[in-house]
Amino acid sequence: MIKLYNTLSREKEEFKPTKDKEVGIYACGPTVYFFAHIGNFRTYVFEDVLRRVLEFNGYAVKFVMNITDVGHLTDDADAGEDKMLLAMRREGKSAQEIAEFYTQAFMADVKKLNIKPADEYPRATDHIQEQIELIKKLEEKGFTYQTTDGVYFDTSKLPDYGRLSGQKSEEKEAGARVAMGEKKNPTDFALWKFSSESEQRLMEWESPWGKGFPGWHIECSAMSAKYLGIPFDIHLGGIDHVPVHHENEIAQTQAAEGKLLANYWVHSDFLTVDGGKMSKSLGNIYTISDLAAKGIDPLAFRYFCLGAHYRTKLNFTTESINAAQNALNNLRDAVRDWDSPSGGCAAYEQEFAAALDDDLNLPEALAVVWQMKDSASASSAKAASLLKFDQVLGLELDQYVAQPLAVPEDVKSLVKDRERAREEKDFERADQLREQIEKKGFTVDDQAAGSKINQKH
């Protein structure tokens, strides 16, 4: 039995899919006008782990992630500049070229992080018609009104608007500096925005209301329903999407179809950098490639993400990411000498599964990995269990378990020479030999059983 914290009920709930052993999952995907950063990838890694936990428990998962390739405005309040247009100006490329370039960059990072690809990656621009149809339904049911700049959703018409964040419209009004414009209520949001008359937009479509482009939230309601049916099982995203984006997805579908969009809403908390927000002005918005340039393996970033519960903040610092890289290196080194997998460690497997089932307690699951590694169990049994665990961890440990390091003969003979020097208490020579060994890409550890040769990391 898997328990998940459902933002909708604010409780850990037993997970019960709508279909027996099949689970439909939708996750809000990248906006492809720039590279996804490590904060985004914390969320995508969490989503991948959730998918893997369900598969580990025998569910067949259908995972859908949208690609937002329509230009949207730079803030949540339907104002600001269009991000796609900004990117086009910055890079001197067409909208399609920008979207294609950053989609490919995203896919490359997904692969490096060993995130399982989604079953579908629907693009917003391929589903304009579906979005228009949904807005038409909302219009027929009386949930919309027009202003001079677009078609808006009237949140006051939906009695339980705000159920996801638990915020009432009036509270938002008090708390936020929302640009009201011609909106009737502060929480109302754009379904369709009109192109401005003075400016030819490069991304615009015909609609029953006039030329323009869809609002930000409508694509997710339209595409998730198309690919998964409603209500589907689990809707995922980062915690920032709770008060506006996901609230509005729920409202649109509830109003148009009279149904809840998804039964479980699961959100991961933010990644912070040096204890604060990532921002352009601080120059601390890192990508996976930025980490690689600092010698951090993408899978070490994945390991780093597993080290914090998804509902707590994860603080990225030079020290914390280096610690993750070292831990992963140590694990890789340790498992190389294990015997070929056979059998398993039943007690550790039970503990591992129990940690996952308790709202994805990955830090606890990782602790089980380390306890098992250091235990006196047969290494063949540990190897078998670790490979099972890696179906969830996704650290590609199969490349290390029971795969002894190939040490070239010249390095072996340097190590022998060094052992002899140590016996003769010629420590100066022993140190020189260590340097030579390291130059060849290996390290040597003096252990009770003799010299242990590892890869130099």
The per-residue DSSP string of 212-239 comes to: EEE-TTHHHHHHHHHHH-SSEEEEEEEG
Q: Which is nearer to ligand AMP, 31 or 155 (CB)?
A: 31
Cis-peptide, bond into residue 341, ω within 30° of zero: no
Separation between Cα atoms, residue 369 and residue 285, nearest integer Å: 31
The residue of the chain with the least Cβ separation from ligand AMP equals 238
Handedness of CA 50, 55, 57, 62 (dihedral sign): positive
Q: How far is the CB of 103 from Zn ion (least distance, A)?
A: 16
Quick one: what does residue 40 bind among Zn ion, ligand AMP, none, with the CB cut-off 5 to 8 Å set by partner type?
A: ligand AMP
Query: Residue 301's Cα: distance from chain center in Å?
Result: 11
Q: Which is nearer to Zn ion, 249 or 359 (CB)?
A: 249
Helix, coil or strand: residue 93: coil
- For residue 163, the 8-state DSSP code is T
Q: Which stretch binds Zn ion (CB under 5 A): 8-16, 21-29, 354-362, 380-388?
A: 21-29
Q: Which stretch binds ligand AMP (CB under 6 A): 26-34, 49-57, 109-117, 329-337?
A: 26-34
* Burial classification of residue 54, based on how many CB atoms lie within 10 Å of its CB (0-12 exposed, 13-18 middle, 19 or more buried): buried
Kindly tell me which residue out of 220, 324, 334, 366 binds Zn ion, with binding defined by CB under 5 A: 220
Tokens encoding 322: 């280096």
Q: Which is nearer to ligand AMP, 33 or 400 (CB)?
A: 33
Quick one: what does residue 42 bind among ligand AMP, Zn ion, none, with the CB cut-off 5 to 8 Å set by partner type?
A: ligand AMP
Kindly tell me which residue out of 8, 28, 98, 178 binds Zn ion, with binding defined by CB under 5 A: 28
Q: Which is nearer to ligand AMP, 31 or 125 (CB)?
A: 31
Containing 285, the helix (H) or strand (E) segment is none
* Burial classification of residue 275, based on how many CB atoms lie within 10 Å of its CB (0-12 exposed, 13-18 middle, 19 or more buried): exposed
- For residue 115, the 8-state DSSP code is P
40 lies in the binding site for ligand AMP (CB under 6 A): yes
204 lies in the binding site for ligand AMP (CB under 6 A): no
Containing 101, the helix (H) or strand (E) segment is helix 95-112
Q: Which is nearer to ligand AMP, 76 or 357 (CB)?
A: 76
Separation between Cα atoms, residue 429 and residue 412, nearest integer Å: 16
Kindly tell me which residue out of 2, 15, 23, 30 binds ligand AMP, with binding defined by CB under 6 A: 30
251 lies in the binding site for ligand AMP (CB under 6 A): no
Number of residues in contact with Zn ion, rule: CB under 5 A? 2
Residues that bind ligand AMP (CB under 6 A): 28, 30-31, 39-40, 42-43, 237-238, 240-241, 270-271, 278
